[in-house]
Structure 1
Amino acid sequence: MNAILLLCVVGFVAAQQPQPCVTPQQWEANLFDYSEPNRFMVRGRLSYDATNHRERLLEEVEVGNDREYYDVIALFDLQTEFIYNYKAHNCSRQPLTRPWRDFGIRPDARSFGEAYIGTSALPGLGLLVTMWGTNHTTPSNDTVRTFGTWTYRACLPVSFISHSTQMGRTQSSFFDIVAGISDPNVFIPRPECLTAKEYAMRDTIFGTPAKKFTK
């Protein structure tokens, strides 16, 4: 009898534990990014595809008094990044070594409760968010500590902070989020970034999902 009661209590407590919501796999948003180790700020428009591990960022980078403007396509499954420099009018292709940034809530994340950004005193004056944090180890044996806030409804990311020994501390904030990808060709690099053969086969190589290509 006591064993049955104990199981009932444990089941009741487990049922009370908050469960992470599920962030949409594809969305677009205005982004503000700050990297503490490098002391640079990034503002731009992000297209985010968690299904195929792809990012497209039209960005303005500010380092001190210098500003640069880039069009960056990061294809994590292909481990390749294309960077178009608007000032120099050229494109570079380089290996992608940084880990994929998943802006969803990890299944093992710990809940830090809910709160209003603004106020709950009157309707329409605040945004209810849910807060989660976790630690995890990357394949390169780097321990990453994260803390983020997501909207209570729709589970859209609002802010995301991560800290690790290798990458330092970064903070991201998101605004004007739209679910889905507005342009299906957004992850196709510019002609300047590709060979003639690659550009002719761009829909096949960089479609959904992206496929490996020969250099």
Structure 2
Amino acid sequence: MFAIFLLCLVGFTVAQQPKPCTTPPQWEANVFDSNDQSRFRVRGRLSYDANNHRERLVEEVEVGSEDNFYDVIALFDLQMEFVYDFKARNCTRRPLTRPWRDFGIRPDARSFGEAYVGTSAVPGLGLLVTLWGGNHTTPSNDTVRTFGTWTYHACLPVSVISHSSQYGRSQTSFFDIVAGISDPNVFIPRPECLTEKEYAMRHVLFGAQGKKMKK
């Protein structure tokens, strides 16, 4: 009888384990990204598309005492990145070797409960968030430890902190998130980044079917 009770108790406990919510696949937000090891800080507007593994960031990059301004389109399925330098007024096309950075909660993440950003004492003065963390190994065999917060409602990212021996500690914070992509052409590179032929076919090459383009 006692053994049956223990089995029931274990089953109840497992059933109560919280499951990660699902972050919307497409959204735009202001972001602040910093890395202690590289001594850089990034502020910009991010367009994020998890359906097609692509992102665009119009950013100000601070490295030490120097500021630079870029428009970066990263197309992960094509393994291609376009970087437009506002100061130099030129565009660089380069292979994209870093892995896709998913800002949703990993399925194997551990729950650390819920908390209010601000206060729950007065209605409207706090934001209820969920806390998740865990470890994962990258394709380059680097172990990354992460801890992040997402809104309880809608599962939008608030902040994500990660640490690894290869990249050090980095933190990304999100503000003013808007669901969806406001401009369907936001992932099409600037004319300076493309050949005349590529720009004429830009909607075919860099739309949802952009995998047709040669790497």
TM bracket (short chain): over 0.9
Give the % identical residues.
78
- Shift of residue 62 of structure 1? 1.1
- Partner amino acid for 1:39? R
CA shift at 1:20, angstroms?
Answer: 0.7
Q: Which residue of 1 aligns with 2:194?
A: 194
**Structure 1 residue 36: Cα displacement:** 1.2
CA distance, structure 2, for counterparts of residue 196 and residue 186 of structure 1: 19
Q: CA deviation at 1:3?
A: 5.3
Match of 1:43 in 2: 43
Give me the whole-angstrom Cα distance separating, in 2, the residues matched to 1:209 and 1:183. 17
The reply on whether 1:16 has 2:21 as its aligned counterpart is no
Distance in 1, Cα, partners of 2:99 & 2:78? 12
- How many correspondences in the alignment? 215
User: How far has the Cα of 1:78 moved from its partner?
Assistant: 0.8
Farther-moved stretch of structure 1 (2-11 vs 128-137): 2-11
Report the more deviating stretch, 64-73 or 6-15. 6-15
Match of 2:32 in 1: 32
Alpha-carbon shift at residue 37 of structure 1 (Å): 1.4
State how far apart, in whole Å, the 2-side matches of 1:155 and 1:94 are.
Answer: 33
- Corresponding position of 2:183: 183
Kept in 2: contact 1:204–1:211 (CA 8 A): no
Q: TM-score under structure 1 normalisation?
A: 0.96
Gaps spanning 5+ residues in structure 1: where?
A: none
Question: What letter matches 2:68 in structure 1?
Answer: E
1:167 equivalent in structure 2? 167
Question: Which residue of structure 1 aligns with residue 105 of structure 2?
Answer: 105
Q: SS of the residue aligned with 1:211?
A: helix
Task: Give secondary structure in 1 for the equivalent of 2:210.
Answer: coil
1:140 aligns with 2:140: yes
SS in 1 for 2:13: helix
**SS of corresponding position for 2:56:** strand
Secondary structure of 1:162's aligned partner = strand
Partner in structure 1 of residue 214 of structure 2: 214
String of CA shifts for 1:179-204, please: whole Å, max 9, x gaps.
11111110000010011111111111
Q: Is the 8 A contact 1:52 1:210 kept in 2?
A: no
Instruction: Provide the rounded CA distance (Å) in 2 between the counterparts of 1:139 and 1:166.
Output: 12
Match of 1:7 in 2: 7
Whole-angstrom distance in 1 between the partners of 2:4 and 2:198: 65
Amino acid at match of 1:194: L
Offset at residue 214 of structure 1 (A): 3.0
Aligned to 2:74: 74
Distance 1:98 1:49 in 2: 16
CA-atom RMSD in angstroms: 1.3
